[in-house]
Structure 1
Amino acid sequence: MYAGEQTLIMQRIVRDSLYAACIFFLGVSAAWADDGTEGICMMVRHGIRLHVDGMYGGYPHSVLRDAVLQGVACPSDEAERHVFGLIADPPPHLRISVTRPMGQGQQGAISARLFSQGHFVIGERMSLSPLARSQSPFSVTSEINLLMARLWSDLAERISHGGRAIP
């Protein structure tokens, strides 16, 4: 076996292990059934209330919600966790919208908007990749992960330049 193949195998093992851990922690987090939100990122203070909007082709909303839950990224580095601590009480609200109209080749988009204490904090938006536009909702998990990583990074960057956590 070549060193490059071993590296690829190890990367897949680590990635799959992280996915399994995320699924486990999302599965044991409390659901906020009274207002259609779910608790995520519970390892960071009191977590975040997540609400999933949108539609993905003809798939049921529950499938879309499960795909979003698999892709959500929580604050990961020290700067991101610090910024999250500034907006964590009461738990912030995250609204992720995924839209992919029915039909092959239709354009689609993902957006994430973070709210704290009733105020808009930050948002991100991106178009769906060609792959995600032609596959099941679970094909967007990596795009949601990237979108969330950008959201946390941009928020941390704003604070590091003297900006306010809640504008």
Structure 2
Amino acid sequence: MKWTLRYGLAILMTFGVAGCSAHAETGTDEICKTVEHGVRLHVDGVYGGYPHSVLRDVVLESVSCPSGQAEMRAFDAIAVPPPHMRIAVMRPTGQGQQGSVSVMLFSQGHFVIGERMALSPFSRSQSPFSVKADINLATARLWDDLAARVAQGKPAIP
């Protein structure tokens, strides 16, 4: 009885914690709600030991949405059903570790376009909130590149 109580409770707690953290990292958020039906966002990554929820909040506050005429035309080509964006921020723990931000856009089950860049030196040494400019720049470049592709007469979804 002692064994069941002692180890059973430990096993139950392990599965409960694993289930909660898995849910937090696999959920999607709705962003860019002012354009068509919006974009579904999935946030991945780690930022120097900070909780995933902090990183998720930073990404939600930093994402750039399509805004110009060319970007809106390009977005219209992939807007239904709502596209899916995956943003991964990686900054290993430790002084001087270089990190990166990766943004990928998917539509209708296909990869559309992506951007990857190293974190700025400022972002590598500060809290997750210092990475806002890097995330905003990467997502703005993504929309700009998609607009340029469509303007050249290429298909929005390769």
Q: TM-score surpassing 0.5?
A: yes
1:150 aligns with 2:141: yes
Residue 70 of structure 1 corresponds to: 61
- State yes or no: 1:53 paired with 2:68: no
The 5 Å alignment of 1:69-88 reads 69-88=60-79
Q: Which has the larger radius of gyration?
A: 2
Shift of 1:70: 1.0
- In structure 2, distance between residues paired with 1:48 and 1:96: 12
In the alignment, the residues of structure 1 paired with residue 142 and residue 108 of structure 2 have an alpha-carbon distance, to the nearest angstrom, of: 18
Aligned residue among 79, 94, 105 for 1:103: 94
Between the two proteins, the alignment pairs up a number of residues equal to 134
1:131-150 paired onto structure 2 within 5 Å: 131-150=122-141
Counterpart residue identity of residue 154, structure 2:
G
Quick one: distance in 1 between partners of 2:134 and 2:100? 10
| Alpha-carbon shift at residue 115 of structure 1 (Å) | 0.1
For residues 99 and 46 of structure 1, the distance between their equivalents in structure 2, rounded to whole angstroms, comes to 29
Using the alignment, how far apart are the partners of 1:70 and 1:105 within structure 2? Answer: 26
Displacement after TM superposition at 1:162 (Å) = 1.0
Q: CA deviation at 1:39?
A: 0.2
Unaligned runs of 5+ in 1: 1-32
In the TM superposition, residue 60 of structure 1 has moved relative to its aligned partner by 0.1
Q: Distance in 2 between matches of 1:162 and 1:83?
A: 11
Alignment counterpart, residue 114 of structure 2, candidates 111, 123, 130 = 123
Question: Does the residue aligned with 2:106 lie in a helix, a strand or coil?
Answer: strand
- Gap regions ≥5 residues in structure 2: 1-23
SS of the equivalent of 1:104 reads coil
Instruction: Report the aligned-residue RMSD.
Output: 1.0
Q: Structure 1 residue 104: deviation in Å?
A: 1.0
Aligned to 1:16: none
Instruction: Give the 5 Å matches for 1:4-23.
Output: none
1:90 to partner: Cα distance:
0.4
Task: Give CA-to-partner distance per residue, 1:64-115, whole Å, 9 cap, x none.
Answer: 0011111100001011011111100000000000000001110100000000
Q: Percent identity?
A: 68
